[in-house]
């Protein structure tokens, strides 16, 4: 009897024992199997733990809980190499959830255990993609996608994840702060850096290794671009984020990427892969992936002193013209032979070298040369002008292994995904003459502090975050923040009671946030800063208060609470004592915060380590929290504090100096084409010399340079005015002017944009008078070119390059309206996935939009004998005889201006 019972339960006992053994083995299994590497991680972890002692309770208490050996080692790996922003602003529970969900993905999907340990460690486990605010997207996406991709091949799953991202998000440009993935989903839009951050996060959430790739600057046009590389079955592929194609290694940037001079990515931790390393530190490596996309050459720069002797430890910077400046692609120190080298594309670079304040530079044509020698013979203060012509690499066509049927099927799917996203966007509050109409859980109450127009403006900006904004507004619906009944906030109990009748405090407060802030900020954070402090202590003028105390935002940081926390520390401090305290207590290390995600002010205070930018933000908010007006000039990054005795704004600096900064003035004039007003970054930049190189200011959209003449107050010093003008093939005529601004003097400089010279033989074939149905009836192409040339654009309105061109045409509407010719936008039928809203882009008045269901694109290409494969937008200019005198294809910033320049040259 006993034997029979034992025989029946024996298999269960064996199974239970096996399960216990497996759990035990799993509990004792190393995450890092290389003993030497594991020892290095443990050493680095202990060093990082000591550095983050101010955040120890939040960060490391979780390490004393019941963790498996794998979890412990994974946590040590993350802690050892995470940037300061993550040590300062997140806790151990957050990182443990990241680890456990990464392991859950590994154990859930069939490909999970096929990923090599090092690839998993650096490109699945890691929670951060770039400089985004962190959130719980990994957990959310894992649960969203686990059933959808389970059972797929790794290749098909990667494509499917991108389709899911496209259901949620489409491209729209925005400011430089990178939203968290869930915030991007909530908005429904993201720029390329946000789209790629979302896709990398989503791929890692299902255990597929992924990394964000950047060309930090294009060579053939202005701007940059981010996309994604995904590791599938032992190989890295590329794909456009939130822009699914029928297969991997397909994207609109396939051809533009062949013209790059650099494509890079960061690898978290001590990385030992076989990619070329541009920069290696103890925390991360920057990898050069250019050879995945373009023809390359390894070049070497040799740096010599004025006597021709090799210079060790000189800084060599490989620079590329873009946005009217020479952007540094990579920086390296020379070796004992005075040499530094890099792999780059077959175009022109400006190689810059400096040491001990001396500098030298020269252009290298990488098509012809792989070596260049520089002598550091230039010094600060010499005034001169330098003209350069910079040529990008030639593009190469790469055939896609995809059928027309696969393309058509993918297009149908994209159309359906667009409809899903549009249905979600339709749930946002709508604005009508009757006011604001809201949906589902949010109900907006009347607010005595905002006019109807102001209320509608704020609600329109907040988009998918409307519930949080409405919650905040409703919290203040019964409070009058102006007039004799104004609320006095208890955070500053010593303030005097004042009337606020002439000021719209709540509106000014909300307008101090960026549009992106309103799309992802919470009601609780808005409340934390809504102190609406009165004219604190000394009765500040309202404009000073509005500029230097009211705003919660300083620069490009994610807004978090800080006023109450820092007021308790700095209540009785002066600006000088806050500056001194910060200099003495905050250790600055830019490498330690290598993703350049600004650390929160409270995080800086706790960690006592920061990059210089986060340190500067901390100083400003500490002043504001103490009731001292202060702000950062985000064009020059100078810090200003209001001096109550001198009754003006004073520049302050952490650089050692005994007196306030000495300043002069720069007067900028422009005497060129009145129809093409110079724009900062597009046409010119201003840079200041510091430690052997020039650093550009950021006056984008700054009213101080919105018209000319423009006068800027700047620190006395040595400056460079850079201008540029691009041809349609991407070649650039560059002009650099070096000059001095003396203390107390005004220096006048003209913005000189070198004119493009006519290039003989620019002809792209000829077209006939193909007919189409227009608003004016059956019309021929050449009928539209009778009076003035026709701008003929074949577009894919769903893709980023076309959206850039449409935005530029809208920005130049007045200029094109004055010209008066016709612009025909042709949308191929298979690209027409949703109705095209012409009004959204504010296009020139003579713009005609047609959907091409009759093969006009094929006929134009056949007539002109031009080859084209989906590299939209494809733009021609046709004269009245049908001669195509201009062609632009694919991604190019400044296309609208280039079109206009060409039009003005046609007789």
Q: Please write the tens of the pLDDT for every residue from 219-267.
A: 999 999 999 999 999 999 999 999 999 999 999 999 999 999 999 999 9
What was the pLDDT predicted at 22?
41
Instruction: Please check the confidence at residue 9 and state whether its pLDDT lies above 70.
Output: no
Question: In this model, does residue 537 exceed pLDDT 50?
Answer: no
Task: Give the pLDDT band (50/70/90) at residue 271.
Answer: very high
Q: Give the tens place of pLDDT for each residue, 561-616.
A: 999 999 999 999 999 999 999 999 999 999 999 999 999 999 999 999 999 999 99
Find the range with the poorest average confidence among 363-377, 645-659, 674-688, 810-824.
Answer: 645-659
Could you give the angle at the alpha carbon of 747 between the alpha carbons of 744 and 750, nearest 5°? 160
pLDDT digits (tens, 9 = 90+) for 892-904: 889 999 999 889 8
* Predicted local confidence at residue 485, as pLDDT: 42
Average pLDDT over residues 716-739: 96
pTM of the complete model: 0.91
pLDDT grade for 396, boundaries at 50, 70 and 90 = confident
Query: Looking at residues 358-385, what average pLDDT do you find?
Result: 97
Exposure pattern of 86-100 as b/e (b: 16+ CB <10 Å)? bbbbbebebbbebbb
Please name the helix (run of DSSP H) or strand (run of DSSP E) that holds residue 280, with its range, or none: strand 276-280
Q: Distance of alpha carbon 255 from its chain centroid, rounded? A: 22
Q: What is the pLDDT of residues 613-622, one digit of tens each?
A: 999 999 999 9
In the sheet that holds 630-633, the strands lie side by side as 630-633, 638-643, 648-652
Q: Spell out the long-range contacts of 477-483 with Cβ–Cβ below 8 A and sequence spacing 24 or more.
A: 477/445, 477/446, 477/447, 477/448, 479/448, 479/449, 480/448, 480/449, 481/449, 481/505, 481/506, 481/532, 482/449
Please identify which residue in the block is written with the tokens 């946030």. Answer: 513
| Residue 6: pLDDT over 70 | no
CA pair distance 547, 223, nearest whole angstrom: 31
Question: What's the pLDDT at 90?
Answer: 98
Question: What is the C-alpha separation between 791 and 821, in angstroms, rounded?
Answer: 8
Q: What is the pLDDT of residues 799-816, one digit of tens each?
A: 889 999 999 999 999 999
Nearest Cα residue to 598 out of 85, 29, 83, 22: 85
Q: What pLDDT, on a 0 to 100 scale, did the predictor assign at position 445? A: 84
């Amino acid at each position: 009897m006993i034997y029979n019972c034992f025989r029946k339960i024996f298999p269960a006992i064996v199974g239970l024992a096996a399960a216990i053994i497996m759990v035990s083995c799993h509990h004792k299994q190393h995450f890092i199997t290389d003993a030497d590497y594991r020892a290095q991680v443990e050493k680095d972890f202990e060093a990082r733990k000591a550095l983050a002692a101010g955040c120890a309770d939040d960060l490391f208490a979780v390490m004393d809980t019941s963790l498996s050996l794998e979890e412990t080692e994974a946590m040590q790996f993350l802690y050892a190499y995470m940037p300061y922003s993550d040590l300062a602003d997140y806790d151990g529970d957050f990182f443990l959830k990241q680890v456990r969900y990464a392991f859950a993905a590994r154990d859930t999907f069939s490909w999970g255990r096929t990923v090599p340990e090092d690839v998993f460690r650096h490109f699945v486990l890691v929670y951060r993609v770039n400089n985004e605010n962190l959130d719980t997207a990994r957990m959310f996406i894992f649960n969203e996608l686990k059933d959808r991709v389970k059972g797929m091949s790794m290749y098909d799953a990667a494509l499917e994840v991108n389709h899911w991202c496209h259901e949620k998000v489409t491209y729209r440009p925005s400011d430089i702060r990178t939203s968290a993935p869930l915030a991007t989903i909530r908005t429904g839009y993201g720029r390329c850096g946000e789209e790629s951050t979302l896709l990398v996060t989503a791929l890692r959430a299902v255990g597929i290794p992924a990394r964000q790739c950047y060309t930090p600057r294009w060579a053939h046009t202005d701007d940059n671009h981010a996309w994604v590389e995904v590791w599938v079955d032992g190989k890295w592929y590329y794909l456009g984020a939130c822009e699914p194609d029928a297969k991997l290694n397909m994207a609109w940037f396939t051809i533009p990427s062949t013209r790059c001079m650099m494509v890079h990515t960061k690898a978290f931790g001590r990385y030992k892969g076989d990619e070329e390393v541009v920069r290696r530190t103890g925390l991360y490596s920057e990898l050069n992936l250019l050879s995945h996309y373009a023809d390359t050459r390894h070049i070497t720069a040799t740096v010599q002193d004025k006597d021709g002797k090799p210079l060790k430890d000189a800084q060599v910077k490989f620079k590329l013209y873009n946005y009217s400046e020479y952007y540094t692609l990579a920086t390296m120190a020379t070796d004992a032979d005075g040499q530094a080298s890099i792999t780059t594309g077959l175009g022109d670079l400006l190689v810059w070298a400096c040491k001990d304040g001396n500098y030298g530079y020269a252009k290298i044509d990488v098509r012809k040369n792989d070596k260049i020698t520089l002598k550091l013979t230039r010094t600060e203060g010499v005034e001169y002008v330098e003209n350069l012509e910079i040529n990008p690499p030639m593009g190469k066509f790469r055939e896609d292994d995809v059928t027309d049927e696969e393309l058509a099927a993918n297009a149908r799917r994209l159309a359906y995904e667009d409809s899903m996203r549009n249905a979600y966007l339709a749930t946002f509050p709508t604005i009508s003459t009757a006011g604001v109409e809201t949906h589902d859980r949010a109900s907006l109450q009347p607010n005595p502090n905002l006019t109807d127009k102001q209320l509608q403006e704020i609600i329109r900006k907040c988009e998918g975050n409307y519930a949080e904004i409405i919650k905040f507004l409703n919290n203040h619906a019964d409070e009058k923040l102006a007039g004799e009944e104004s609320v006095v906030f208890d955070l500053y109990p010593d303030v005097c009671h004042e009337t606020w009748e002439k000021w719209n405090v709540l509106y000014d407060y909300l307008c101090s946030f960026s549009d992106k802030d309103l799309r992802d900020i919470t009601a609780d954070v808005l409340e934390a800063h809504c102190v609406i402090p009165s004219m604190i202590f000394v009765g500040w003028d309202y404009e000073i208060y509005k500029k230097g105390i009211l705003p919660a935002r300083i620069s490009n940081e994610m807004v978090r609470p800080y006023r109450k926390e820092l007021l308790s520390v700095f209540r009785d401090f002066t600006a000088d004592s806050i500056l001194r305290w910060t200099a003495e207590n905050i250790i600055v290390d830019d490498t330690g915060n290598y993703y350049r995600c600004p650390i929160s002010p409270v995080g800086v205070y706790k960690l006592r380590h920061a990059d210089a930018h986060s340190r500067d933000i901390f100083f400003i908010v500490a002043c504001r929290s103490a009731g001292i007006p202060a702000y950062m000039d985000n064009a020059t990054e100078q810090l200003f504090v209001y001096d109550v005795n001198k009754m003006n704004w004073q520049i302050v600096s952490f650089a050692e100096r005994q007196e306030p900064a000495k300043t002069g003035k720069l007067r900028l004039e422009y005497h060129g084409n009145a129809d093409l007003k110079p724009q900062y970054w597009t046409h010119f930049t201003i840079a200041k010399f510091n430690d052997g190189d020039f650093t550009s200011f950021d006056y984008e959209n700054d009213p101080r340079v919105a018209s000319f003449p423009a006068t800027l107050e700047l620190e006395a010093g040595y400056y460079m005015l850079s201008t540029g003008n691009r041809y349609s093939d991407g070649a650039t005529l560059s002009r650099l002017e070096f000059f001095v601004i003396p203390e107390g003097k005004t220096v006048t400089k003209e913005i000189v944009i070198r004119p493009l010279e006519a290039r003989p033989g620019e002809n792209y074939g000829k077209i006939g008078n193909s007919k189409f149905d227009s608003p004016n009836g059956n019309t021929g192409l050449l009928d539209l070119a009778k009076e003035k040339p026709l701008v003929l654009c074949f577009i894919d309105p769903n893709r980023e390059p076309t959206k850039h061109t449409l935005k530029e045409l809208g920005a130049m509407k007045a200029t094109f309206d004055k010209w008066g010719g016709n612009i025909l936008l042709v949308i191929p039928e298979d690209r027409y996935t949703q109705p095209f809203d012409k009004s959204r882009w504010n296009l020139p008045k003579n713009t005609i939009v047609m959907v091409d269901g009759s093969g006009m694109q094929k006929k134009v290409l056949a007539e002109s004998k031009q080859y084209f494969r989906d590299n939209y937008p494809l733009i021609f200019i046709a004269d009245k005889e049908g001669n195509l005198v201009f062609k632009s294809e694919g991604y190019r910033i400044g296309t609208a201006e280039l079109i206009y320049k060409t039009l003005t040259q046609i007789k």
